Amino acid sequence: MARLGTETAFEVLVKAKALEAKGRDVVHLEIGEPDFDTPANIIGAGCEALHKGFTHYGPSSGLMELREAIAQYVSETRSVNVSPDEVVVVPGGKPIIFFSILALCEQGDEVIYPNPGFPIYESMIDYVGAKAVPIRLREEMEFRLDVDELAGLINDRTKLIIINSPQNPTGGVLTKIDIDQIAEAIGNRNIMVLSDEIYSRLIFEGEHHSIMSIDGMKERTILLDGFSKTYAMTGWRMGYGVMRADLATQLSRLMTNSNSCTASFTQIAGVEALRGPQKSVEKMCAEFKKRRDVMVAGLNKIKGFSCRLPKGAFYVFPNITKTGWPSKKLADALLEDAGVAGLSGTAFGDFGEGYLRFSVANSIENIEKALERVDAWTKKNLK
């Protein structure tokens, strides 16, 4: 258990709530979830499903209706042919990370993963006793990975490569060329790719490209996507993996051993999410873009902060090295003294030092309030 890591966002949320309980006002920019309500048509479908009796166990890999809808959606959006037996529905995107690493990796294996990156990757690689091999994401590369560097990290022990685009925490988005070159670097080696595409519908500039679309990569890709971010359904707990049918059978067995199945009525709501109107997704994305612009412009006016415009997801990742403060100490001070909850870049790995992560999943009014507070704090505390 000592090897298992955590997701700091949940710890900071608890700390911020404790300050609020003492009467302090805190602007929450720490947690990565849309502040919007789940669209009404999806809630309606979930309620109706409850009344219709979708209150029982279902198949471990997910209800056929939903796996069919996912197979169709992924086939259309990634230009591949996916069948329902290649889909595993799980409670959130996270279990796909957990199960894939558990199923594929053991001591002696190496796993390449983005750093800074979603902390669960490193946590799970360490947990199963495999070797975590970070690929550093650099600001000067707009936080896309350097494919030459990736090629240099691949060896005979590499079992799995994790990529994530749009990326948490940097908002970096891999280009079509990046994806092509990553596939080229892997060549015909027997290496699996876990492609975390949970933010695939939250792109502000450019388009989403999946490594699954590349000839010869479908068999070696586990695609992770889900409902949490796209449809503001974080609390419903539903996501999915798309992978070779033989591997899908193994992941379903992990589901049988852990959760039995994802909640049945939730899955019916998932069918409505995928097949119903998509206007709310576009609306949320446009709103996140507006907030991103306000946040980045504001941060760039604050002493010691500089921030690139992220191309996707709903985070900004300002460089704070010119403040002279280490990231964790600065994040703590901003929460405790200024009432602004954000995360230290180091919550996403060692290469996150020198950065903070703020989520823009909050109103423009609150974002402006946070900017004023950070600005006032820096004026008071930085020489």
The site for ligand PLP (CB under 6 A) is made up of: 32, 92-94, 118, 164, 168, 196, 198, 226, 228, 234, 239
Q: Which two tokens stand for residue 153?
A: 């990290």
CB of 117 to ligand PLP, least distance (A): 8
For ligand PLP, which is the closer residue by CB, 114 or 318?
114
CB of 25 to ligand PLP, least distance (A): 25
> Exposed, middle or buried by CB within 10 Å (0-12, 13-18, 19+), for 65?
middle
CA distance to 41, 86, 93, 196, 230, per residue, from 262 (Å): 20, 16, 12, 20, 18
- DSSP state, 369? H
Instruction: For the chain, state the CA radius of gyration.
Output: 21
For ligand PLP, which is the closer residue by CB, 61 or 234?
234
For ligand PLP, which is the closer residue by CB, 237 or 373?
237
Residue with smallest beta-carbon separation from ligand PLP:
92
For ligand PLP, which is the closer residue by CB, 211 or 371?
211
For ligand PLP, which is the closer residue by CB, 32 or 352?
32
CB of 108 to ligand PLP, least distance (A): 26
Torsion sign, CA atoms 279, 263, 79, 312: positive
The backbone torsions φ and ψ at residue 222, rounded to the nearest 5 degrees and listed phi first, read -110, 115
CB of 233 to ligand PLP, least distance (A): 8
CB of 12 to ligand PLP, least distance (A): 14
CB of 313 to ligand PLP, least distance (A): 7
For ligand PLP, which is the closer residue by CB, 60 or 168?
168
For ligand PLP, which is the closer residue by CB, 312 or 339?
312
Nearest-angstrom CA–CA distance, 289 and 141: 21
CB of 176 to ligand PLP, least distance (A): 20
Q: Are 309 and 290 in contact (CB under 8 A)?
A: no
H or E element at residue 343? strand 343-344
Distance of CA 82 to the CA centre of its chain: 23
For ligand PLP, which is the closer residue by CB, 239 or 354?
239
Q: Are 211 and 252 in contact (CB under 8 A)?
A: no
Three-state secondary structure along 253-293? HHHHHHCCCCCHHHHHHHHHHHHCCCHHHHHHHHHHHHHHH
CB of 49 to ligand PLP, least distance (A): 20
Indicate the SS3 state at residue 221: strand
